[in-house]
Structure 1
Amino acid sequence: MLAPLLATSVLSASIVVAQVKTDNEADLDPADWIEREAGIPVTDKLTIEKCGSCHAPDDKGNLSRISWIRATPEGWSQAIKRMVKLNGLSITPQEARDVVKYLGTWHGLSPEEAKPVMYFTERRIQDETIIPNEAVQHGCASCHAFAQPMSSRRSRREWGLLQNMHKALYSQADYQMSQPAEGQPEPEDSSKKPITRGEVALDWLSKEANLHSATWADWRPRIRTPKLAGTWVLSGKLRGQGRFVGEMTIAPAGDDFTTTTTLRSLETGQTMTRSGKGLVYAGYSWRGTSTGSGQPAKPDDMAGTLRETMWFAPDQSSAQGRWYWGEYHEFGVDVTMTRVTGGPVLAAVSPLGVKTGSKGTDLHIYGASLPSDLSTADLDFGGGVTVRKVTVLSPGEAVATIDVSPQAIVGLHDVALNGTVLPKALPVYRSVDYMKVTPETALAHLGGIKYGKGYEQFEATAWSKGPDGKPGTDDDFPIMPVDANWAMKEFPTVTYDNDIKFVGQLDNAGFFTPNVEGPNPERRFSRNNYGEVWIVATAKTLNGKDGKPLSAQAYLVTTVPAYKRWDQPEVSQ
């Protein structure tokens, strides 16, 4: 179980200068391996002062352990917490922030390394697709997301020491890693032990998550103080509340930034303002908070305080990420931003989904610096879509009246304004073929008496089978949200199941509120209010080919609260 529980641990740290795999490495404890990889020197005085008494320096400026690890800001923050709890580190909150900012920048990840695992820091719940094989899955991702180890880079020796730390702290980790690896041949010599999951994981991570990657070597000399001040056009989506457009103004505040954001709902037209602050690690990795101007009236109210995690492109022209909040981080706005530099910027179009053969559809185009003399010749929506008229309402909004040919190419069309392109922004469909409910699998937590509830918001979306005409293939695409009626249906697991009576309430907008925690005397065996149900959406106006309303369902597990919470069980006492 390889997690980026970074830096010095309960294991000894020796002064090292590099590492290669020696002939007898397999017979040695990783603490006894010889380091031959070059370390990354630590140059920050505060980091040396706070860490150097335990992490011994060498004549090249390396600090033991630290110089052979790179990690995200969250990883280094986690390491400092462990040093405080387990090793007696004395450090003030401001000093800790400064050390994390240095290490998260100069001993961090390259943009290319960080982007595939941003979902981890964005607190997204999703199926992981980056796990390379079954042995690594069981060895590293049985107890936590695989994105956790992949949020760091280490020398081979450091990956070995991390395995040691897991074995020392978690008995289950020792068992998991010592099991024979899946997919490996049996040893020809019956006296030899089979290759273990831990060995496979160590070899894979040493190669694919190595300390000195090509992308890090490319990025390190390019790290610079981010110049983000100015106006950014923003588009976002919140499940159950639809899409938003707006602007964020970023202003410098010392080494950090302040923000003012204006958002407009494309569903209701409501506008809202937010103010916040943020900082950037490694020249691209934004962490911030912002607060709305009103008092939240419901759990997923946009007026609440949001934590912002965003990945800025290396050229600092665009950004993407998630702004999340909620007791379990279950609510979050998917955000894309583009810097305003004087030329036209495209952010979104509305409504989503135009049908082949339709005529006279008014398509609203949102962005910034839209030219007042915008003409039909300036806009291009791809094959089969003809622009008949354009009206510019403001520099941030225009309306294009379009016709869609019956032979128009089905799929996600680009929206282009001369040389400015908003990719895959306009779904063109021939028919609504089926419907999906998202999330397809969901988790809610009981609460409300002593513990916080963990809510869930469901959404119904219409889908096209795509050009190949086959459902469930890679060319399928979403068309538009669907107005639906919502209901719960029993998911039978035992003969006396009656979960829909106890797990909670589902409103007419697909918002699920779990029941309270605790034993329920009205339930058989006084069980808690946990359970499993189907969440069923039935379209109000869309019918399938059989003439009946389209329907879809999702699976929901309502479970007990997280009675204890910690980011590191070994130091939370």
Structure 2
Amino acid sequence: MIERLRKGHAAGLAGLLLLTPIPGLAQDGATLLEENCAGCHAPGENGALSRIAGQRKSPEGWLMTIVRMRLFHGMEIDNDVQSQLVHYLADTQGLAPSETEGYRYILEREPAVVEEIDAPLGEMCSRCHSGARVALQRRTQDEWDLHIDFHVGQWPTLEYQALGRDREWLKIAREEVVPMLAEKYPFETEAWSTWQSAEKSDANGTWVFTTRLPSKGEAYGTLEVSGETQPYTVAGTLKTANGDEFAVSGKLNVYTGYEWRANIEIGGTTYRQVLAMSEDGSTVSGRQFLHAEDSLGAAFKAVKAGDGPAIAGVVPSTLAAGEATTVQIVGTDLSSIDLSGAVVASGGTANAYGAAIELSPDAGTDGTVSIAAGDASDKDGLAVYSHIDSLKVEPEFGVARVGGGGGSAGKVPARFDAVGYWNGPDGQAGTEDDVRIGIIPATWSVAAFNEEAEVLKDVEHAGEMDTSLGIFMPAVAGPNPERPFSTNNAGNLKVVATNGDVSGEGQLIVTVQRWNDPPIR
């Protein structure tokens, strides 16, 4: 098992081990903690185990800690017990919802976030891992200080690495960074105390959702969550914008009263959901991605039935003017729907996903549509366009990784969207008053980003772009004898999206494998 953990895909590792069944909780969490951890972690005067008692983390954070104990310290623990411990620690020493805000992208494995971490944390911490990984922990000042010792002991060469050897690394860490971390990310907070005493919402019930599938575009559906013990059972239906329908099934665990982690199958393909329930339990949002490849995913939002009118979104969310069409207003308790904006509604029918509305956008129409149902609203939830003034590629900077070729790391593709804009009141593209239309169809291609990429023939060797989906699949890893010095298939590419006579550009770096890919990067 240890060897399998070493070689496994990190997202798969988190997905697997965070969903291991909890067989009846035969023992309480405190007992399991004592039995499995007290052999190395001595109890203090209050009986709490050293090191463990002074930390709070996300479910993934606690999972990484336990797996590290297994890999480097020979800890022997069954997966079901490990799952119970992760639950117990996340529930009793986790993070409040407000404490994860602004950093959830790292839990959701969002592939296109570029962090900007100020000094000294940028040099001290983010030269090896994300700044979000630091921000998703809470420790006492003593624990932050011991955390420095841990780094020196675990990675003794770090003082000789770039951004370490040119300064008094250890002195700065102890005298500047530890006090800063203790103040910025303290163990005891009002947010956590309040959340511990708050009544937690139940995930069981019917949820109506919107999302996007990598190869099928916008989609919506229902999830029925049921069960008395975790993991809960998830079942439902997903429909794409073009009418394809797929069965949905899977398992769900909820940590800390709001951290939603599910593995689900949609039409035979397994997806991973890393979501957060709102504090009142009426909505859940985050990111859903392919379990086998976390770079291919999209935002996911769901509203819960039974809590009054609620709107999750509109599918499709962008609509070319000039043709009568039907859009799905995705939500619950939508007995009365009001539309205002660039369309005329000619009828509608309630269904299990909300309501299907027949629209007549006039040719030449440009504008947004706001939707309201009781107290629920989705301002500018639908855009109708007859023309596009400018086009942007999102993300504007992406990364793909070569892989395969007999190695343990597979290819990591990159996915792009074409987003249309109107110029806005000033009539100029690329200014602050531009109006976002939304994701629109485009034809995709790649070109050499600069002269060096042209000389090295990066377009020829780095991989292939799907011309309709905007998904770039990198080439195989390993030496390529057709390139200078038999270098690998890395590249620096320009990503081009075109719709009619309007185009937009982004950048794609095709680079080497990521060999160490933990649940929190």
TM-score, normalised by the number of residues in structure 2: 0.83
User: For 1:57 and 1:360, how far apart are their aligned partners in 2?
Assistant: 71
Residue 517 (structure 1) shift: 2.1
Aligned pair partner of 1:279 in 250, 253, 259 = 253
**More displaced 10-residue stretch of structure 1: 153-162 or 239-248:** 239-248
Question: 1:436 matched to which residue of 2?
Answer: 392
Unaligned runs of 5+ in 1: 1-41, 182-192, 295-303, 542-548
Aligned pair partner of 2:85 in 94, 99, 107 = 99
The superposition leaves residues 268-314 of structure 1 with CA deviations (integer Å, 9 ceiling, x where unpaired) of 211111210011111000112112343xxxxxxxxx21122110011
Find out whether 1:155 has 2:140 as its counterpart: yes
Question: 1:23 matched to which residue of 2?
Answer: none
- 1:167-566, aligned counterparts within 5 Å? 167-171=152-156, 173-174=158-159, 176=163, 196=172, 199-222=175-198, 224=200, 226-238=201-213, 241-266=216-241, 268-294=242-268, 304-325=269-290, 327-341=292-306, 343-353=308-318, 364-369=327-332, 374=336, 378-381=337-340, 389-392=346-349, 394=351, 396-399=354-357, 401=359, 414-427=370-383, 432-451=388-407, 452-467=410-425, 471-472=429-430, 475-491=433-449, 492-493=451-452, 496-509=455-468, 510-539=470-499, 541=500, 549-562=501-514, 564-565=515-516
Shift of the 60–476 alpha-carbon distance from structure 1 to 2, 3 Å rule, reads farther
* AA aligned opposite 1:111: P
Residue 242 (structure 1) shift: 2.2
Residue 493 (structure 1) shift: 2.3
Shift of the 178–532 alpha-carbon distance from structure 1 to 2, 3 Å rule, reads closer
Secondary structure in 1 matching 2:294: coil
User: For 1:473 and 1:161, how far apart are their aligned partners in 2?
Assistant: 49
The superposition leaves residues 514-567 of structure 1 with CA deviations (integer Å, 9 ceiling, x where unpaired) of 22222222222222222211121221x3xxxxxxx11111211222334x4453
Shift of the 238–471 alpha-carbon distance from structure 1 to 2, 3 Å rule, reads farther
Question: 1:37 matched to which residue of 2?
Answer: none
Retained in 2: the 8 A contact 1:140–1:201?
Answer: no
User: For 2:477 and 2:391, how far apart are their aligned partners in 1?
Assistant: 33
Unaligned runs of 5+ in 2: 1-27
The superposition leaves residues 42-88 of structure 1 with CA deviations (integer Å, 9 ceiling, x where unpaired) of 97111122222322223434221111110011111111122223333
Shift of the 194–463 alpha-carbon distance from structure 1 to 2, 3 Å rule, reads same
Q: Which has the higher contact order (CA 8 A, sep 6+)?
A: 2
Higher-Rg structure is: 1
Question: 2:38 matched to which residue of 1?
Answer: 52
Secondary structure in 1 matching 2:455: coil
Question: 1:136 matched to which residue of 2?
Answer: 121
**More displaced 10-residue stretch of structure 1: 485-494 or 214-223:** 485-494
**Percent identity for Structure 1 against Structure 2:** 29
**Aligned residue pairs: how many?**
486
Retained in 1: the 8 A contact 2:315–2:330?
Answer: no
User: For 1:155 and 1:414, how far apart are their aligned partners in 2?
Assistant: 47
User: For 1:439 and 1:198, how far apart are their aligned partners in 2?
Assistant: 38
Indicate the RMSD between aligned Cα atoms, in angstroms: 3.3
* AA aligned opposite 2:131: F
Secondary structure in 1 matching 2:131: coil
Shift of the 129–477 alpha-carbon distance from structure 1 to 2, 3 Å rule, reads farther
The superposition leaves residues 418-441 of structure 1 with CA deviations (integer Å, 9 ceiling, x where unpaired) of 222224423477963310112221
Shift of the 470–164 alpha-carbon distance from structure 1 to 2, 3 Å rule, reads farther
User: For 1:169 and 1:514, how far apart are their aligned partners in 2?
Assistant: 34
* AA aligned opposite 1:418: G
Retained in 1: the 8 A contact 2:248–2:264?
Answer: yes
User: For 2:191 and 2:376, how far apart are their aligned partners in 1?
Assistant: 29
User: For 2:45 and 2:373, how far apart are their aligned partners in 1?
Assistant: 57
